[in-house]
Structure 1
Amino acid sequence: MNHERLLNDGQWCEGEAGQASLNDRYRGTLAAVIEQASTRQVDAAVEAALKAFRGTPIPAYQRYAILDRAARLMDERREQILHDLITETGYAVGDARSELDRCVLTLQQCAEEAKRIHGECVPMEGAPGHEHRIGFTVRVPRGVVCAITPFNAPLNTVAHKIAPALAAGNAVVLKPAEQTPMCANHLARLLCDAGLPAGYLNVVHGPGEMVGKRLQENQAVDFYAFTGSTAVGERIRARIGLRHTLLELGNISSTIVCQDASLEVALPRLSPVPFARQARYAPRYRSFSSSVASTPRW
């Protein structure tokens, strides 16, 4: 049985808000105990990230080396990671291997991009009196990035959030989905073992209603990266004001509806829109000459 802790300023620690249980998706047996962060620990994680960011910056070549080393460590430890990925998601073995391979590639690509972050030269001759002048831009990290990740693709989606942020020189506070915390902790351990300085990555576990909300209220966070439902994305935008976000909301999954299917059964499962509203659109489905229809965007 795994014991998944919080990561704060380079130290793995117990949660102050109790523990949650995680069951094996196939067997239903207890697979892990997850430490739950208190609001104080959420604030401490943000403070640790801010302290690291304002301290000694990580030069680009070192960010490259850390991410590249983490990719190699993931490949070396793949059997344990695959075991935990299957346990907490219920993935088939082939799907789990594909997810891990994609995550390795994500880390490698972000490592390379760390060496290629640059601005541009801007000619100023378009304005009178500026014939012999040029301007230039320099890209700089934003600061503290809050990453909130979903239960599906819980390894590569986490990497998609934190690896680009680290490659650009930011510090990160990660809140993984409650259903899939083990893969997130695996990735955090890999990065720590690869040489990531303390405070540049912090992990807090717990329910979104408390941990996620507290992260959104903390004014030291400069940027939010979130993948999840549209309803939660709207609440995040309402709470954080003018601070920047990267929101990946809803889904783009196609659904096959066979010609002999019961629309009364199928439609409520394809969309959160109440069935009374869906019924008005039912004739559109029956008019398809093909037996395949995709989920509509209402």
Structure 2
Amino acid sequence: MMTLIKDDNNRYRNLINGEWVNSKNSTYITVTSPIDNSVIGNVPAMTKDEVDLAVQAAKEAQKSWKSVTIGEKAEVLYRAADILLKNKEELAGLMVREIAKDRKSGLSEVERTADFIKFTADTAKNISGESIPGDSFPGGKTNKVSIVRREPLGVVLAISPFNYPVNLAASKIAPGLMAGNSVILKPATQGSLCGLYLARVFQEAGVPNGVLNTVTGKGSEIGDYITTHPGINFINFTGSTEVGQHISHITNMVPLLMELGGKDAAIVLEDADLELTANNIVSGGYSYSGQRCTAVKRILAVDQIADQLVEKILSKMEKLTYGNPLEKDVDIVPLISSKAADFVCELMDDAREKGAKLLVGGDREGNIIHPTLFDYVTTDMRIAWEEPFGPVLPIIRVKNKDEAIEIANASEYGLQSAVFTQNINDAFYVADRLEVGTVQVNNKTERGPDHFPFLGVKASGIGTQGIRYSIESMSRPKVTVINLSHHE
């Protein structure tokens, strides 16, 4: 068992320069469980001065870390993956309490993260530079050779969200470290205990002092300060479009890699395998209560199969369970906060008022929203466009594939879409025209496998993630030109 560093009052500490430190001014943020509002811990509300210490430590430590061999860096990551797996039961248990994720999903998140970390180490070992001859360009000279290697950027700021507090922190930390950067992890407040646990794993695995530091605190107090800090050389953020856009407005000349919101559409054509489609829509729309950026968030179904599709979806929804994930494995868990549940209720009320047909659900118990399906949703309803981050799906009926494409592309978001059809030509016709980072054919929208490129366009993100892509994003080419002297 690995213990997190805290005091008798359940106050956790941050990792700064290899030391677990208390809040200097003794101010803490209380982290409560979305399940029953019980207090699960307190994390330091760090001040600007404490942020300065973290950045300074990271800057200093990176100087020696960048010259550690790739092989040695990889060994640290392999150890981290092993430690994660040894402690997966404990970490999954923490996830259940802190973000109300069901235990099975928590365990699978930890296992996937260990795989991600190992694959990152392997991939970094295989990234190589190149040499470019000067005479391959018109008029170029035979006596010039360009040697291109990859260099780290410096200090990476990793800002992770609540919904995958282990995986989406590690997917920033591991590539950042392998590229030779030092990393500062700022986890979402809800999810920060999982983030601190992960930092402890990396420390145990042998990440040198200062190479990984953690910062907890209120976004309103230190968010802008840390994202605009002159010591930060790269920002990798996963979270809401609103915060992502704010960060991109206030930063200056710092490269950004961002994964933001989505309104992922499942487009269902007349020849779709409806059994397969319904299975994917239900698991893609409702698992972890739809609190995933890549969740299926709307169904665009052509008229002639819409009724049959609805029937199949409803019969599968009957099997969905909801409740307290501490007591049993459930599909639908409490939403992360009452504010989140209030927002979902607003969208449901708006749909009801404007004439959508509520087929199932629509009820709320505490922070649990029952799995909900609306039919005959029209484009004047908020649920057609806004991301609920809850277990509510709208069905928008369309005449044909072109109307489906038009509605899908009218969204401000462009993360993923799915198309269900048995006609390869239609699959490509739709995929080619959708303004998204990824199109899934006959599968729910989802991230992964993690070595595939993962990206959003429009309001869904900047830059490309995925193991090799992330390492390349967090490094840059360094060019050395050799000029050979030709002696006769």
Report the TM-score, using the length of structure 2 for normalisation: 0.55
| Bigger relative contact order, structure 1 or 2 (CA pairs below 8 A, ≥6 apart) | 1
Whole-Å separation in 2 of the counterparts to 1:295 and 1:179: 32
List alignment gaps of at least 5 residues for structure 2. Answer: 1-8, 265-294, 300-309, 311-355, 358-373, 388-393, 413-488
Q: Encode CA deviations 1:131-171: one digit per residue, 9 max, x unaligned.
A: 35322201011100111111111110000111100011100
**Deviation per residue, 1:169-223 (Å, 9 max, x gap):** 1001110001111111111001111111000001010121222211122111111
After TM superposition, give the deviation of residue 2 of structure 1 in Å.
Answer: 4.9
Q: Which has the larger radius of gyration?
A: 2
Shift of 1:271: 3.4
Instruction: Say whether the 8 Å CA contact 1:53–1:170 is kept in structure 2.
Output: yes
Task: For residue 286 of structure 1, report the CA deviation from its aligned partner.
Answer: 4.3
| Correspondence for 2:382 among 250, 268, 274 | 268
Match of 2:167 among 141, 150, 156: 156
Q: Distance in 2 between matches of 1:143 and 1:255?
A: 37
Q: Give the aligned partner of residue 196 of structure 1.
A: 207
Equivalence for 1:92: 102
Q: Displaced runs of 4+ in structure 1, greater than 3 A?
A: 256-260, 269-273, 284-290, 292-296
Percentage identity across aligned positions?
29
Q: Structure 2 CA distance, aligned partners of 1:128 and 1:241?
A: 38
Question: Secondary structure of 1:160's match?
Answer: helix
**Which residue in 2 is equivalent to 1:122?**
132
Q: Contact 1:63/1:114 (CA < 8 Å) preserved in 2?
A: no
Aligned partner letter, 2:32: N
Distance 1:124 1:60, change over 3 A: same
Shift of 1:34: 1.3
CA–CA separation in structure 2 for the residues paired with 1:55 and 1:167: 13
CA distance in 2, matches of 1:230, 1:3: 31
**Aligned counterparts of 1:109 and 1:6: Cα–Cα separation in 2:** 28
* Counterpart Cα distance in 1 of 2:187 and 2:254: 21
**Pair 3,267 (structure 1): closer, same or farther in 2 beyond 3 Å:** farther
Contact 1:256 1:294 in 2 (8 A): no
> Aligned residue for 2:246?
235
Q: What CA RMSD, in Å, does the superposition of the two structures yield over aligned residues? A: 2.7
Q: Which has the higher strand share?
A: 2
**Conserved? CA contact 1:254–1:295, under 8 Å:** no
* Distance in 1 of aligned mates of 2:189 and 2:140: 59
**Is residue 246 of structure 1 aligned with residue 257 of structure 2?**
yes
Question: Which residue of 25, 39, 45 corresponds with 1:36?
Answer: 45
Q: Does 1:12 align with 2:12?
A: no
Structure 2 residue 143 is matched with structure 1 residue 111: no
Please say if residues 117 and 168 of structure 1, whose CA atoms lie closer than 8 Å, have aligned partners that are also in contact.
Answer: no
Give distance in 2, aligned partners of 1:216 and 1:294. Answer: 33
Q: How does the TM-score come out when normalised to structure 1? A: 0.88
If each structure's helix is expressed as a fraction of its own residues, which one has the higher value? 1
Contact preservation (8 Å) 1:88, 1:179:
yes
- Give the Å deviation of 1:14: 1.0
The CA deviation at 1:269 is: 4.0
